[in-house]
Amino acid sequence: MSETTLVPSEVARALFGFSLRPSQEQAARAVTEGRDTLAVLPTGSGKSAIYQVAGIARGGLTVVVSPLIALQRDQIRSIDGRRLGDRTVQAALLNSAQRVRERKDTLDRLARGDLDFLLVGPEQLTNSEARAAIRDGARPVGLFTVDEAHLVSEWGQEFRPEYLRLADALDEFGRPPVLALTATAAPPVQADITRGLGMRSPQVVVADFDRPNISLAMRLTQPERPEARAVDDRCVDVVIEHETPALVYALTHARCESLAERLRQDAFRAAAYHGGMAARARADIQDDFFAGRLDVVVATSAFGLGIDKSDIRSVVHAGVPASIDDYYQEIGRAGRDGEPAAAVLVHDARTIRIPRSLAARTHLGEATLHSVVDAIENAGCHIALADLVRDAGVPAHAVDRVVNELAELGFLGLSGSGRHRVVEPQRHLPRPADLTDQLVAHDKRRQAVLASKLQAARAYAESTHCRRAELLAYFGETYPPPCGNCDNDETREEEPAPTPSIIGATPVRHRLWGNGRLMSQDDHEVLVYFDSVGYKHLTASTLKSGILERC
């Protein structure tokens, strides 16, 4: 395959036999021309085709960082073995689940320059052997792609902290163009992604967020009933009223199990899916759902990342999720075939305590911060993470969190991977007390933003305005109400709500909260994201009073 640059549209036709959509074409062309690019496109919009086309068009090796092994395998199947002229496209995996022989085969193919695409888990890029094989392979890295790029955001580091260290690998590979792909990223998260990956003057492509075939609705529970029963009863009613296959998202493992049992009693083929189950059991449930042997899967947010089942007719949420970002991505798994689908949020104000308590678990007390910082200071030089856990006398997950945050703030480096990671403090660290103060401030900001995201999700649930306009405003996208396909518009008897004016993240400044971005505005309310406290719904009068000013 020639290493000369090709035209993305021609590659798409030759490789797949179809033309790219305008948003795909815009992103693929920007990357092919060597520009760092962030593509924020909804689930089912063909994000993988962007890197596949752009990678072939640029030539060289395309490295794709993908978070789930099942997703990596799906992507391999979509590109490996395709014909392009007189050549066959070759792709391979490098992840922690491979046998020794499989891993050696991939490394040998890298050394020979046989591969066009390498799909890796993020942890592989903290592995010195894997990084050296990519860096020293016969084909230089022509494109570096980060799938599910919202995990780079500082709010996603609980899931995969290795995403925070991808910028180091980029430098080692000669700083090729970066393509970041995600299905959900509000403007603040977009900024986190581009900053976290060190993207240079990035082209940001945001398109197609509206999914008009998905109806949006909220159903209240009966508050006189106990919370668990009220939520279960209403969710079962909603599933009965709508078509299957269906996904039901619940907030706890126990709620998944109880709801699945209730649905089975109503003759649905239903199963629970959550992180407390064995990996084999989870894989079997996913296979059964894809094969049509299950009508409903009741899951925590652990289910669905990268899912590609086109005929899901209903997505039901048993309680307000932790954020609009999560909600949008989860409802986006419905109706990917373009046929009508439904997204119903079952709301009981009492369930708000669950995502609130989950967010609180990310809080690190000052005593924990002091213990870890003092242990790093006492080490005086490089220290293995396992030794740091022992010396600090706090749980490993807490040490991991503190180390990740210090690395993000630039106070230390990290090498190695997993249990063998080594902490490398800067030569001139601030005083332990000052360092702890910075971590405390960082933690407070995190907690404020997490709380604001939950409040924004609750505001969506309780809104009386057009839900589509409310949902898209969160992502900074214009939608003039009414949509005619949400519960509020269908039952509205009075005049429609004023058309929101989407400001496109206009910079503003608040007297108390400092700099922010104005996301949307109507005659009554403005939605603003502040760097210090997250999302805030304010009265429109704040723009006239001088409390909130455009910059």
- How far is the C-alpha of 214 from the C-alpha of 422, rounded, in Å? 48
Chosen CATH of 210-361 out of 3.40.50.300, 3.90.1330.10, 3.30.70.380, 2.40.50.110: 3.40.50.300
Q: State how far the Cα of 32 lies from the Cα of 272, in Å rounded to an integer.
A: 43
Q: How high is the pLDDT of residue 32?
A: 94
Q: Where in the chain are all domains bearing CATH 2.40.10?
A: 498-551
CA 502 – CA 242 distance, rounded (Å): 33
As a whole number of angstroms, the distance between CA 61 and CA 116 comes to 5
CA triple 513-321-532, angle to 5 deg: 15
pLDDT confidence of residue 505: 64
Strands 246-250 and 422-425, by their bridges, are unpaired
Residue 286 has pLDDT above 80, yes or no: yes
- Would you state the pLDDT for residue 141? 96
The pTM assigned to this predicted structure is 0.75
- The burial of 422, by beta-carbon neighbours within 10 Å (0-12 exposed, 13-18 middle, 19 or more buried), is given as middle
pLDDT digit string, tens, across residues 402-438: 887 787 777 887 776 666 677 888 777 788 888 888 8
Q: 3-state class of 494 per DSSP?
A: coil
**Residue 237: half-sphere exposure toward Cβ, Cα within 13 Å:** 13
Q: What pLDDT was estimated at residue 503?
A: 47
Say how far apart CA 371 and CA 394 lie, in whole Å. Answer: 8
Give me the phi and psi of 84, to 5 degrees please: -135, 100
Domain with CATH 3.40.50.300 in the chain: 8-206, 210-361
Query: What per-residue confidence (pLDDT) applies to 25?
Result: 92
Coil, strand or helix at 207: coil
pLDDT confidence of residue 60: 93
Residue 212 confidence (pLDDT) above 70: yes
> Is the backbone of residue 550 left (phi > 0), alpha (psi -120 to 50) or beta?
beta
- The domain covering 8-206 belongs, at the CATH homologous superfamily level, to P-loop containing nucleotide triphosphate hydrolases (3.40.50.300)
Minimum mean pLDDT among 55-64, 151-160, 189-198: which range?
A: 151-160
Greater confidence (91 vs 187) lies with 91
pLDDT in tens, 96-120: 778 889 999 999 999 999 999 999 9
Encoded amino acid at 364, one letter: L
Average pLDDT over every residue of 8-24: 86
For the domain made up of 366-445, give the CATH fold: Arc Repressor Mutant, subunit A (1.10.10)
The tokens for 109 are 């193919």
CATH for 498-551, options being 1.20.950, 2.40.128, 3.30.1370, 2.40.10: 2.40.10
Shortest CA distance to 149 belongs to which of 82, 35, 260, 65?
65
386 backbone φψ class: left, alpha, beta (φ>0; ψ -120 to 50): alpha
Output the CA angle 21-200-145, nearest 5 degrees.
Answer: 50
Label each residue of 156-192 as H, E or C. Answer: HCCCCHHHHHHHHHHHHCCCCCEEEEECCCCHHHHHH
Where are the strands (E) in 231-295, listed by range? 246-250, 270-273
pLDDT value at 502 more than 50:
no
Question: 346-371, pLDDT tens digit by residue?
Answer: 999 888 887 777 666 677 788 888 88
> Where are the CATH 1.10.10.10 domain residues in the chain?
366-445
In the chain, the amino acid numbered 4 is T
Cα 357 from chain centroid? 21
User: Percentage of residues in the chain with pLDDT exceeding 90?
Assistant: 32
Is 306's pLDDT higher than 60? no
375 pLDDT above the threshold of 70:
yes
Cα dihedral 505→482→345→323 (10° resolution): 0
Average pLDDT of the residues of the chain: 84
Separation of alpha carbons 159 and 320, rounded Å: 20
Angstrom distances, CA of residue 238 to CA of 81, 114, 248, 345, 445: 44, 52, 10, 9, 37
Q: What are phi and psi of 196, to 5 degrees?
A: -65, -30
* Res 538 pLDDT > 90: no
